[in-house]
C-alpha cells in the first residue's frame, strides 16, 4: 500500500473528511486533496510528522512503512490513556511485520513493556497486601479487646457467684 493510500485509509479510520484534515494541517483543501494520488504523494512526507502530532494514536510505523496496526488503542476513548497492554500488543504486531534492526528494536520495546506491565502489577499487589495486612491488624486488635472484655465479664460473674 502506498503512502497516499494509507493517508486515505487513515481519514476513514479517524472518520474525518479531506477538508477537515487539510484545515487541521493548515493547508488548502485542494492542495491536500492533490497530494492524495500516486503522482503527488511524495508531497505527503513533510506532512506526516504533523499528522502524528495531531493524532497521537496513529502508529508511526504504519503511517510511514505500512507495518503493524494503523491506530493504537482504537477502542479507548480519546480522553483516556491507552492501557499498557494495548501499546504492548501494537508494538508486538509492529515487530512481527518489521525486519532487520527495526524488528530487533521493536522486540526490545515489547519486552520492556511486558516488564513494566509486570512491575505495575507487582506494585498493585503490594498495595493490596498492605491494605489486607492493615485490616488483619485491626481485626486482631478488636479480637483482643473482645477477649479481654469477655474475660473481665467472666471474672465478674465468678466473683459475684462466689460471694453468694
User: What pLDDT digit, counting tens, does each position of 13-63 carry?
Assistant: 888 999 999 999 999 999 999 999 999 999 999 999 999 888 878 888 889
Residue in the block written with cell 512481527: 96
Assessment of whether the complete model's pTM goes beyond 0.75: no
Tell me, rounded to whole angstroms, the distance of Cα 126 from its chain centroid: 21
Task: Give the Cα-Cα-Cα angle 45, 50, 55 (nearest 5 degrees).
Answer: 120
> What is the reported pLDDT for 104?
76
Task: Reduce the DSSP state of residue 57 to 3 states and report it.
Answer: coil
Rounded average pLDDT over 80-104 = 71
Task: Retrieve residue 92's grid coordinates.
Answer: 508486538
Amino acid at each position: 500500500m502506498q503512502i497516499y493510500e494509507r493517508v486515505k485509509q487513515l481519514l476513514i479510520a479517524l472518520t474525518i473528511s479531506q477538508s477537515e484534515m487539510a484545515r487541521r494541517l493548515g493547508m488548502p483543501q485542494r492542495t491536500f486533496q492533490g497530494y492524495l494520488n500516486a503522482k503527488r504523494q511524495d508531497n505527503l512526507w513533510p506532512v506526516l510528522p504533523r499528522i502524528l502530532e495531531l493524532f497521537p494514536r496513529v502508529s508511526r510505523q504504519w503511517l510511514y512503512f505500512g507495518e503493524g496496526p494503523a491506530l493504537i488503542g482504537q477502542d479507548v476513548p480519546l480522553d483516556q490513556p491507552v492501557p499498557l497492554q494495548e501499546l504492548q500488543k501494537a508494538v508486538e504486531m509492529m515487530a512481527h511485520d518489521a525486519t532487520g534492526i527495526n524488528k530487533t528494536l521493536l522486540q526490545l520495546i515489547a519486552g520492556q513493556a511486558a516488564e513494566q506491565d509486570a512491575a505495575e502489577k507487582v506494585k498493585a499487589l503490594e498495595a493490596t497486601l498492605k491494605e489486607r495486612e492493615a485490616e488483619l491488624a485491626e481485626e486482631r486488635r478488636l479480637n483482643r479487646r473482645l477477649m479481654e472484655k469477655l474475660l473481665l465479664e467472666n471474672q465478674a460473674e465468678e466473683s459475684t457467684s462466689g460471694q453468694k
